[in-house]
Amino acid sequence: MGLGLFSSNRITRKNILESLSGFLDVGYKSLVQGLDETFEGKMEINENQKNELMIASMLAVSEATIKTWGKLAEEKEIAGKKAREIISKKYFSDAKEFEKFEELFNKRSEEYREVLQPENTELVIQFGQIFCAHFLNKKSIAEVEADSRNLAIMTLVGGLFINIMAEVKNFFDETMTKCVFDW
């Protein structure tokens, strides 16, 4: 994404939140499309699975935002619930449905963060394994690993997660060097 989306070199919180919403939306749709193409339209994605895909996209955007700006209060607001609330309006019909999703997101985030370490050389597979366990409603990662057909989902989702996170981080890095933030 270029800086053409902003009319000047002054960036507001609203501009950033709108950009994050776009990244969340594109990431989610990329994951859905990637699975659909991988399985040539033979896989029906149910509501629970859509939530798992949304979590993966949101986590990629949140992690990139935190890695860019750290964990200060303003940045936590941008990386946190505010950004998720914007996209929730597109995908959730009511507040209770979103609250339920938010609880699931927080639970999954804790689990994923165990593998989201800079020194982890197996992040793609490990992220994919955790994702598959939930997406395919398996009781354990061992159950996911027992079926070699799950390797495609593990690597696809893990790879897309890394790509989404990298693109968002690159966008923020470029934005930070060329713009002034008007919080």
Q: What is the pLDDT of residues 20-74, one digit of tens each?
A: 788 888 888 888 888 888 777 777 888 899 899 999 998 898 888 877 766 555 5
Q: State the Cα–Cα distance between residues 73 and 79, nearest whole angstrom.
A: 10
Instruction: Give the pLDDT score at 3.
Output: 45
pLDDT surpasses 70 at 84: no
Q: State the Cα–Cα distance between residues 149 and 48, nearest whole angstrom.
A: 20
pLDDT surpasses 50 at 118: yes
Q: What SS3 class is residue 182?
A: strand
Whether the pTM exceeds 0.85: the reply is no
Between 149 and 88, residue with greater pLDDT: 149
Give the tokens for residue 146: 């027992």
pLDDT surpasses 90 at 95: no
Q: Where along the chain do its domains lie?
A: 10-171
